[in-house]
Amino acid sequence: MDDFDSLVNLEQTFFDEGYKDGFAHGRIHGLIEGRALGREKGFEMWEELGYYEGLAQTWKAYLSLQGTDDAAGRVLHHVNGLLDLISQFPLTNPSTATDTSSNGDELDILKLLRQIRSKHKLLCSSLGVRPRVHAADGSSASANEGNPEQGPSRKKKGSVWEVNTPSPNDDMDYEEDGGGRRQGGQQQQLLSF
Amino acid sequence: MSENLSYTVRSIAELEGHSDRAWNLAWNPKHPLVASCSADKTVRLYSYGVTTASALEPSLSFKTNQTIHTEHLKTVRAVAWSPSGRTLATASFDSNVGIWEQERDERDDEEDEDGQTGSLGSGDWECVGTLEGHETECKSVAYSPTGTLLASCSRDKSVWIWEVQPDAEFECMGVLLEHSQDVKCVAWHPHEDILASGSYDDTIKLYVDDPSDDWYCFTTISGHESTVWSIAWSPCGRYLASASDDKTVRIWAYVDVNPNSNSDNNRILQIKPPSAMTNSHGSGRWVQVAVLEGGERSVYSVAWGKGKQSEGGLGWLASAGGDGAVRVWDVQEPEAGSVVLKPKLVASYPEAHGVYDVNCVSWNPRPGLEDVIATAGDDGSVKIWRVVPSSK
């Protein structure tokens, strides 16, 4: 009777064979695509974070040169807070939940990202700088000066550096001042989760 | 609708003047002044006087005080007075919050010891500060009851908390990006430094200040089926009322989950910041304790005042919305052992602003005038009402 099993279940056998084949093939493609997507998203995330970190470190260096008064102390506290949050962000892919995690609780990436963004906005507000985030589309970020809306006016009135590149879809001339800034303003944060 | 309600909403005054819809209004907590803001980019101030025509019912007379042509470039969406009554904050669709104070001349300083100056003087109101930071339209602004903190919220899903420093300087204390959508309203707890915000994402979030100087959201209240337009804390501080696009007004409370608490104990706990809350009664959670039908359309505004009931109670809750009617509920303590509230509708006035939506309703906070309520509508007018016992 066993001899007839392979004959009777012929179609099922072929189906299983084909399924296994397809599954293996799909897995390969899936891994490739997943890896590419992960890389892209990871790049975007860290591009934003890198911007914040650079901003924070530059301001930290600047503030330590400025000496300490009350306002600077507060701002320095925010800067350090931001740097601290960014340092919590993983540089490598965190292991999946099955492994024993080194920190107490799971790392909530989205929440951390939100906290970092909030802290960055807070920092910009206390510095008197308008927050600007440029995603990966080629235009560069410039630390623009917003109007400091409160009290101790920053001694630095001119902008740190202004790098304006005309956007590819605009025929805007290379303007020093208003053009680049205005165009930067329209680019909202392209990153959203 | 049956007219056997125990109270009647009686019209006292109609204040016209705005050339576009009136979005919001605020009673000055210390002076006889009411401010309204509008899509016409101005803030109008009206002053009122109390004349004791009869001993039972002092009557109010209103007159236009001033129009502040704010420097806002777009609609002024909300106004709020500081607890001292001297500063006015405006939230605008141009994403800025303006801070306004009246110019002081020397004469005002003389009358300062007596906090009862009839009006704030007649100086012009000038902008003493602009709080920038939001990226899109600001929807609401609110001062904390101590006057040290100012909260603003916006369509950019964030809630910003500012610390008020002397000399009209403001320092940003926190940026909270917890909501997933447009934040419509903010309201401070009457006793603690707890902030509540309502959003287009149908939730209400509560925030508190962590000792390490970081504001964070410690709880989210869900239950509404649509946008939460407006929130109001009860004067006792134990309940939170919210008005929503789903046509209901809901009341929430922080309740002890311990089933063994004896029935004498009020299961509704005092709301305190989380660090203090965990010490008493074990843990509690936020539950909905009442659902009120707010009308046939969205309810845009809810306000909880002390009210003028003869016996105790938790106050009067007023609501107004797209169906044009103003409703007032009397809220009493829950029965022993239960947490459910059963507010009773005591007054209703249909078509308070004619065919127009009513955007805001607010109780007069000053002592002696707890039955006076004001509404702002899409017709650009502000109407003043009094809730009086129905004549039998």
A41-71 pLDDT, tens digit each? 989 988 998 999 998 898 888 888 876 666 6
Q: Long-range contacts made by residues B166-169, C-beta under 8 angstroms, separation at least 24?
A: B167/A151, B168/B87, B168/B99, B168/B101, B168/B128, B168/B129, B169/A150, B169/A151, B169/B129
Tokens 């003028």 appear where? Answer: B308
| Tokens describing residue B157 | 């899903």
B45 versus A177: the higher-pLDDT residue is B45
Tokens 């800034």 appear where? Answer: A181
pTM of the model: 0.78
In chain B, residues 151-190 whose CB comes closer than 8 Å to chain A: 158, 160, 165, 167, 169-178
In chain B, residues 278-297 whose CB comes closer than 8 Å to chain A: none
What are the residues facing B237 on neighbouring strands?
none
Q: Least CB-CB distance to A150: which of B129, B158, B175?
A: B129
CA distance A147 to A150: 9
Residue B198 confidence (pLDDT): 94
* Neighbouring C-beta atoms of residue A45, cutoff 10 Å: 17
Asked if B177 lies within 8 A of A119 by C-beta distance, the reply is no
| Tokens describing residue B115 | 């906090």
Task: Read off the DSSP letter of residue B391.
Answer: P
Mean per-residue pLDDT, B174-195:
92
- Judged against a pLDDT cut of 70, whether residue A153 lies above it is answered with no
- The CA–CA distances, whole Å, from A100 to A61, A95, A97, A105, A108 equal 38, 9, 7, 10, 16
B16-40, pLDDT tens digit by residue? 888 999 999 999 999 889 999 999 9
CB A99 within 8 A of CB A62: no
Number of H helices, E strands in chain B: 2, 28
Q: Tell me, yes or no, if B129 comes closer than 8 A to chain A by beta carbon.
A: yes
Q: Tell me, yes or no, if B207 comes closer than 8 A to chain A by beta carbon.
A: no
* Neighbouring C-beta atoms of residue A127, cutoff 10 Å: 22
Distance from CA of B149 to the nearest CA of A (A): 15
CB A144 within 8 A of CB A159: yes
Q: What is the DSSP string of B157-169?
A: S-EEEEEEETTTE
| Tokens describing residue B31 | 């002076």
Closest chain B residue to A131, measured at CA? B133
Q: Tell me, yes or no, if B213 comes closer than 8 A to chain A by beta carbon.
A: yes
For chain A, the maximum distance between any two Cα atoms, rounded to a whole number of angstroms, is: 95
CB B251 within 8 A of CB B241: yes
B351-368, pLDDT tens digit by residue? 899 999 999 999 999 888
Residues of A with CB under 8 A from a CB of B: 74, 77, 81, 114, 117-119, 121-122, 124-126, 146-147, 149-151, 188
| Tokens describing residue B126 | 């000038």
Instruction: For residue A191, give the nearest of A130, A85, A81, A114 by alpha carbon.
Output: A114
A75-92, pLDDT tens digit by residue? 888 888 888 888 888 777
Element spanning B73, H or E: none
Write the CB contacts of A149 (distance below 8 Å, at least 6 apart in sequence): A128, B129, B130, B131, B132, B170
Which range (A138-142, B38-42, B325-329, B357-361) has the least confidence?
Answer: A138-142
Write the CB contacts of B365 (distance below 8 Å, at least 6 apart in sequence): B27, B29, B305
pLDDT band of A172, cuts 50, 70, 90 = very low
pLDDT band of B201, cuts 50, 70, 90 = very high
